[in-house]
A and B are shown apart, each in its own frame.
Chain A
């Protein structure tokens, strides 16, 4: 797997490079701003770009915009965006513009090495990785909403099914969910089909599409 890293803070950038190299992931190039991202993606044609949201010159959301632009130029590029703070609107933007291979994580997740590396591999392979804080705030927000049938449906899920739902929204595969919840693969599959039935979501095989389905459901109360 060939990866490029775009991060203006040198200490972090070097740390991520070292981390990836310890896990046999090749970092072919690095950059410090939006134009740099586009340049190295054009030049090195990597599988995955890991990119900070805040980049020079304005340090607002150059990272997201550059990542989306890079995707437009090269649709097979997977993108993992790192952010100091989780902004659900950014995740919605990223997911809206793409079929697969999108990740949006809090920067501090890089310290959970196994999870981080797993997320990288998953996104590079076309899956999804959404930070668990985004997901949990969406889920708990949805559960507090009142007055419509969908909220009752969420309440109709068992605690195990709620946990499974959150892990689906994070983009985890069935196998990963089974490992995380310490249950069998069969149990996970059963949970999932129950969830999709109770929430009246279309059953789909593609991991990414089911993430989208779940997130659309969760965000349905937001205007």
Chain B
């Protein structure tokens, strides 16, 4: 499981020592041993062949291991570090086979340490680069959400112009037919039923559209859409808004649904109470605050509020729910707008 998570972004890793090398390496190693035994040399020269084979295998394995790392920067660093290590550490067996003595590999080892250390210091992403990367990610994520919000508005428009308009035209023809057959109740009754079915479809499409991309929000903006919401809840709601410009569709939609969810909860749990909605901009951010003076004690981990929090946080915003018992409930959202 954990392996899956870590390696999902990396290319599939094969075995470190490729299958194609194993047989020849083993064969060569065994072969030289046999030849030495047969020629009964005193000096054990196969050790050098084995060292050579080990070098090759170590280098190949290093390259394969480094390639399996997903992140490009880490991949390069690992490759350099491993190759330097193999080459310098590989001098130690050479030194041993040459009869020990002055530890000359120390220079290569020192050089490797300096090389690896220097590379790490230089190539490690600087704080500025990381900040830049985070900014870029935030920007592209916001861009993606803006695209999605615009798409949803386009879908609502298309529904309006396409399916809904056709249904209205259809129900109109049925109505005219019903009118013409007014003298034949059986026929006109059937036509009336058909017309009512079409009307029900129109209503459902309208509710659907309102649930994903409320038309009045797109047409007239946040304040108008919020006032329309308050009319619908049947609570006494005071709306105070002071926006000088419209936020992007994604931010506007998120703010709208914060108010919608908060008011729905208020209507459910604090039906008779008074409520207030405040919308304003402060230092380039959009602030939305919905307060009801009901019984309080709301559960901030409730399903609707969790969904809201996700929406808001996806736009780098913050959502806070305060609900002391007996005092009321306040839902606050802050959404950065870059104004």
Interface residues of A (CB under 8 A from B): 9, 11-12, 15-16, 18-19, 22, 54, 59-61, 84-85, 87-89, 107-108, 110-114, 116, 137-138, 140-147, 221-223
Question: Which partner residue on chain A sits nearest B159 by CB separation?
Answer: A84
Please name all residues of chain A whose beta carbon is closer than 8 Å to the beta carbon of B179 when the two chains form the complex.
Answer: 22, 113-114
Let me know if A110 and B227 touch, CB within 8 A.
no
Q: How far is the CB of B273 from chain A (nearest CB, A)?
A: 8
Given known A-B contacts A87-B228, A138-B231, A141-B231, A60 and B219 have beta carbons under 8 A apart: yes
B236 touches A221 (CB 8 A): yes
Q: In the complex, identify which listed stretch (B88-96, B210-218, B298-306) lies at the interface while the others stay far away.
A: B210-218
Asked if B169 and A11 make an inter-chain contact with CB atoms under 8 angstroms apart, the answer reads: yes
Which residue in B164, B176, B178, B234 is a CB contact (below 8 Å) of A84?
B164
User: Quick check: A111 and B237 within 8 Å, CB to CB?
Assistant: no
Q: Is the CB of B220 within 8 A of A11?
A: no
**Does B147 belong to the interface (CB within 8 Å)?**
no
CB distance from A147 to the nearest CB of B (A): 7
B198 within 8 A of A: yes
Residues of B within 8 A of A113 (CB): 175-176, 178-179
Complex CA–CA separation, A19 to B224 (angstroms): 34
Encode contact with A along B266-300: 1 for CB under 8 Å, 0 otherwise.
00000111100000000000000000000000000
Q: A147 to B174: give the CA distance in the assembly, Å.
A: 46
Which of B169, B175, B227, B237 is A112 in contact with, Cβ under 8 Å? B175
Least CB distance, A117 to chain B, in whole angstroms: 9
Residues of A within 8 A of B233 (CB): 141
**How near does chain B come to A141, taking the closest CB pair, in angstroms?**
4
Contact of A223 with B165 in the complex, beta carbons under 8 Å: no
Contact across chains for A88 and B219 when beta carbons are under 8 A apart: no
Nearest residue, chain B, Cβ from A112: B175
Check B198–A12 contact: CB distance below 8 A.
no
Identify whether the interface residues of A are mostly helix, strand, loop, or mixed.
Answer: helix
Q: A12-B165, A12-B169, A59-B157 are in contact. Are A137 and B216 (CB under 8 A)?
A: no
Query: Is A84 a contact partner of B160 (Cβ separation < 8 A)?
Result: yes
Q: Which residues of A contact B236 (CB under 8 A)?
A: 145-147, 221
Interface residue B166 (Cβ < 8 Å from any Cβ of A): yes
Q: B196-239 vs A: 1/0 string, CB under 8 Å? A: 00110010001001100001101110001001101111111111
Q: CB within 8 A of A111: which of B166, B172, B218?
A: B172
Determine the chain B residues whose CB is within 8 A of the CB of A146 once the complex forms.
Answer: 236, 271-273
* Extra pairs beyond A11-B166, A60-B218, A223-B227 (7, CB < 8 Å): A84-B206, A85-B215, A108-B171, A111-B171, A112-B195, A141-B233, A143-B234
B169 touches A223 (CB 8 A): no
Q: Are B175 and A223 interface neighbours, CB within 8 A?
A: no
- Cα A116 to Cα B178 in complex, Å, equals 14
How distant is the Cα of A112 from the Cα of B198 in the complex, in angstroms? Answer: 12
Can you offer 29 A-B residue contacts whose CB atoms are under 8 A?
A: A9-B161, A11-B165, A19-B172, A22-B176, A54-B219, A61-B219, A85-B216, A89-B220, A107-B168, A108-B168, A108-B171, A110-B172, A110-B175, A111-B175, A111-B198, A112-B175, A140-B234, A141-B233, A142-B234, A144-B235, A144-B271, A145-B235, A145-B236, A146-B236, A146-B271, A146-B272, A147-B272, A222-B227, A223-B239
Task: Output the nearest chain B residue to A18 by Cβ-Cβ distance.
Answer: B176
Inside 8 A of B180's CB, which chain A residues have their CB?
22
Q: Quick one: given A84-B215, A108-B202, are A12 and B231 in contact (CB under 8 Å)?
A: no
> How close is B107's CB to chain A, nearest CB, in angstroms?
76
CB of A144 within 8 A of CB of B234, answer yes
In order of increasing CB-CB distance, the 9 nearest A-B pairs are A144-B234, A111-B175, A146-B272, A111-B171, A60-B219, A141-B234, A113-B179, A11-B169, A113-B175
Contact A15 B239 (CB under 8 A): no
Give B241-282 as 1s and 0s: 1 = Cβ < 8 Å from A's Cβ atoms: 000000000000000000000000000000111100000000
A19 touches B272 (CB 8 A): no
Query: How close is B216's CB to chain A, nearest CB, in angstroms?
Result: 5
In the complex formed, the residue of B with least CB distance to A19 is: B176
Say yes or no: is B173 at the interface (Cβ < 8 Å to chain A). Answer: yes
Given contacts A60-B218, A141-B233, contact A111 B206 (CB under 8 A): no
Report how far A11 CA is from B238 CA in the complex, Å. 42
Residue contact B272 to A110, C-beta cutoff 8 Å: no
Contact A15 B169 (CB under 8 A): yes
A146 to B180, CA, bound (A): 47
Residues of chain B contacted by A221 (CB below 8 angstroms) = 236
Q: Which residues of A contact B165 (CB under 8 A)?
A: 9, 11-12
